Amino acid sequence: MEAEEFRRIGHEVVDWIADYRARVEEFPVRARVEPGWVRSRLGGLGEEGGDFAGLLDDLERVVLPGTTHWQHPGFYAYFPSNASLPSVLGDLLSSGLGVQGMLWSTSPAATEVEQHLMDELVGAMGLPERFLGGGVIQDTASSAALVAVLAALHRSSGGKWRQSGVDGSEAVYVSSQTHSSIERAARVAGLGEQAVRSIPVDPATLAMDVGALAERLRADVAAGRRPVLVCATIGTTGTGAVDPVREVAALCAEHGAWLHVDAAWAGPAALCPEFRALFDGVELADSFTANAHKWMLTAFDLSLFWTAHPNVLVDALTILPEYLRNSATESGAVVDYRDWQIPLGRRFRALKLWSVLRWYGLGGVRAHLRGHVALAALLESWVEADERWELVAPRSLSLVAIAHRDGDGATRAAMDRVNASGEAFVTHTTVNGRFAVRVAIGAEGTREHHVRALWEALRAGGGS
């Protein structure tokens, strides 16, 4: 493809994306196809090329009907995935440059733009100064969890882990509401499920029970186990619960455990000073993660990760074969992000985030966050005024968990009816054994009339 061909076809592709976003509300939020429907409509791989028009036709004919539309204003499922158009352009610029940023020397700009953005966000989010110089973009919070576990293993073993691996005495602590990525990280790190301790939560707040954590830590130490890492969550997946980070940090300090704070969804809210009480104690964390690709207008995948101990992380992961040696690395004056992550290679992801911040500014991102919190508060008020529905957990920022008073059957029926309509998509959780609908408000285009329509649909679906 020559430059002029790229220019012409590129305009067509950008036009297609712009048209899709302009009409996304016309589609049912969730794909209405059966397993195998998409594959049955795809042809074989042809010998002849040059058919980009055919690809765009396939997008209309096959891909769009088989797509769940995450950017739809009626998308309230899971957590949002804000692929704002400025971030799409940033992703295009990153792909267009086509750099491989594994070393500073392989693309100085890819490294230094990332360093600059991560340090600037420390101040913008009110994070502790000890995170300055310790920021790196991971692909997802799951990868961030894994590198945190590996750094924690390295530190807790006094550096022996790199040579000899785990010895079976290690223990990792999560709450019953912690995201499964921590348990997966423990498996990948070779600890096995037996190393993971699930700590109960307070039934009222659904936050980690610090007393139960203290008891388990002390019992494990008495039994010869070694506490490696505790994960505290700010904004759990089910209900947005917030663990008592400061109290957890005190126990980590007592037992020499690494404190990882997972704020994958809620983390961007730290940009707003009025929400920073939720982040009390983060200054004591060894590592912290927040997903820009959830609620910060940045296309997947881009997870912000900071550690107060970058030297520990690098020492745990660094391997320097001869073919990667270079004068910049050996000078010690640069950061090579290949040593801060699991893969060797890395994309210029920072361009996506930079594009978002240049277009919206910090003020625009804050307005985006505040608008969703205000919509969730409005929904909360409607639920509280209704005789048939109720909150099953305190509202957390823009996440509301509700249930029908007639029981699980009525709640599930309402959810299924809403999802079948195609106008909105919600998912569920269980709270103290009770089935509940999660409404995670976060799509860029969601406005009050969309939330009101969802609420009326839920009320009708539940038989009120």
Mean pLDDT of 42-46: 83
Q: Under a CB-based contact definition with an 8 Å cutoff, are residues 303 and 290 in contact?
A: yes
Q: Under a CB-based contact definition with an 8 Å cutoff, are residues 89 and 353 in contact?
A: no
Mean pLDDT of 248-254: 97
Total residue count of the chain as it appears in this document: 464
Mean pLDDT of 398-405: 97
464 has pLDDT over 60: no
Mean pLDDT of 438-451: 96
Instruction: Give residue 423's identity as a one-letter amino acid code.
Output: E
Q: Which of the two residues, 44 and 9, has the higher pLDDT score?
A: 9
DSSP assignment, residue 179? -
Return the residue matching tokens 């049912």.
Answer: 28
Domains of the chain in start order, with CATH, are 3-66 (1.20.1340.10), 99-347 (3.40.640.10), 365-461 (3.90.1150.10)
Output the DSSP codes for 56-115: HHHIIIIITTT---TTSTTB-SSS-----HHHHHHHHHHHHHT---SSTTT-HHHHHHHH
| Amino acid 304: pLDDT | 98
| Amino acid 461: pLDDT | 78
Of 103, 13, 104, 92, the closest CA to residue 55 belongs to 13
Mean pLDDT of 229-254: 96
Q: Mean pLDDT for the chain? A: 93
65 has pLDDT over 60: yes
Of 243, 247, 251, 193, the closest CA to residue 221 belongs to 251
Helix (H, G, I), strand (E, B) or coil at 24: helix
Instruction: Count Cα atoms within 13 angstroms, Cβ side, for 12.
Output: 12
Order of all β-strands in the sheet with 170-175: 135-138, 303-307, 287-291, 258-262, 226-233, 170-175, 196-199
Across 177-191, 253-267, 280-294, 312-326, least confident range = 312-326
Give residue-wise pLDDT tens across range 361-384. Answer: 999 999 999 999 999 999 999 999
| Amino acid 36: pLDDT | 94
| Amino acid 327: pLDDT | 78
Report residue 398's pLDDT band, with 50, 70 and 90 as the boundaries: very high
Report residue 463's pLDDT band, with 50, 70 and 90 as the boundaries: low
391 has pLDDT over 80: yes
| Amino acid 264: pLDDT | 95
322 has pLDDT over 80: no
114 has pLDDT over 80: yes
Of 310, 276, 375, 338, the closest CA to residue 148 belongs to 310
Mean pLDDT of 58-82: 94
Q: Which of the two residues, 167 and 96, has the higher pLDDT score?
A: 96
Mean pLDDT of 281-290: 98
Across 63-72, 255-264, 323-332, least confident range = 323-332
| CB-based contacts of 325, cutoff 8 Å, min separation 6 | none
